[in-house]
Structures are given as structure tokens and as C-alpha cells.
Amino acid sequence: MGRYKFFIFRRIIINSIDIFSAVFLLLLIVIVIFTLGNLASYFEEKHRRSKFIKNYRNSFNDNKKPINFDEVEAIAITDHLSNTQVVKALDECLASLVKDKDESISREELKKIRSAFRVASKFEDIPENMRGHIDNLKALLPGNNSDLYKLESEIQDFSKIQKRNKFISFFVFITGLTGTIYTVLGYYNIGNG
């Protein structure tokens, strides 16, 4: 009985929708899913940033001495924020301090921590296994390590290219799979027609 219902459903779909309409419908569904995913990601990131700002401000309530970079980084890790997101959150925090004329948090300390996170966010795309080796090299090499920063930026560029290539290969896979599905559906339509 269930197989018969599937056959009728497939027959109705094949007869009522031509290939172009099906491709358009599939593309529309993919766009809607992609948009919903981006919206969910945006609101989740915004919620995590506001939670980080709240935790950051609460860390000053009982503490008279300024908190350091490692402590702020620990807050960011527990709130699941990347360095780039922390910079955005600290920018939002600084803007709210200026708007509200709040003096409970030192603006100079906030700017110092924000600039440290900006430097850290520049090399965020470097894979974790390479980052440890580069940090070890920074500790071993004296001076300003300008060549090491060039190496870091090259690795970051390579990582971005690799991510782009993964996206392109996924898109090509989906396109090929869609073509295969429509070819099979077309074969069955001709055979049953």
C-alpha cells in the first residue's frame, strides 16, 4: 500500500512539474534554507555578544583592579566567541559606555584589551595545529618577528583559499547530484509515458 502511494505521488510530481520549474523550486528552497540559517546564526551571535558584554561588565562589579587579557579571553571562551566577535562586542560595550556616560569601567583598559583582541583576530583563520608552532617560534625568535608575521598572513590567505575551494566543491557536488536526480526522473517519465 505504501509503495503504491509513493508511485502515485512520484507520477503526479513528474507529470505536473517540468524540469525548469523543478530546478527553480529546488533553488528557491535552497535560498530559503540558506537565508534562515544565516538569520539564525546572526541572532545567535548577537545573543552571545550581549551575554559576553554582560559578563564583562559584571567582572568589574566586585573587582577594584582591572582585569587582564587572559581573564577576558577566558570569558570569551566560555561564551563561545571568536576573537573577531569579541572585538565587535568590546566595540559595542565602549559605545554603550560613551552613550550612557558610564564610568564604572575604565575606557583605557577597555581600549587596551580591545586592541589586543584586534591583533589576535587578524590571525584567527590560521589552523589551530599551525598556530601553536608559530607561537613557539615567536617566543624563540628575538626582535619584532616581521618575517613570522608575513608567514602568518600567507598561511591565513592559504586557509581562506582552502575554505573557498571547499565551498565551490560542495556547490559543484550539489549541482551534479541535482542533474543526476533530474536525469533519472526524466528517464522514468519517458519509460512510463
Residue 93, judged by CB atoms within 10 A of its CB (0-12, 13-18, 19+), counts as: buried
Structure confidence at residue 191 as a pLDDT band (50, 70, 90): very low
> How far is it, in rounded angstroms, from Cα 24 to Cα 14?
15
Structure confidence at residue 97 as a pLDDT band (50, 70, 90): confident
Predicted TM-score of the model (pTM)? 0.58
> How far is it, in rounded angstroms, from Cα 121 to Cα 115?
10
Domain residues of the chain, as ranges?
A: 1-122, 124-193
> How far is it, in rounded angstroms, from Cα 15 to Cα 43?
41
**Residue 6 scores a pLDDT above 60:** no
Residue with cell 591565513: 156
Q: How does pLDDT run across 33-42, given as a tens digit for each residue?
A: 989 999 999 9
Report the range of poorest mean pLDDT among 3-12, 46-55, 112-121: 3-12
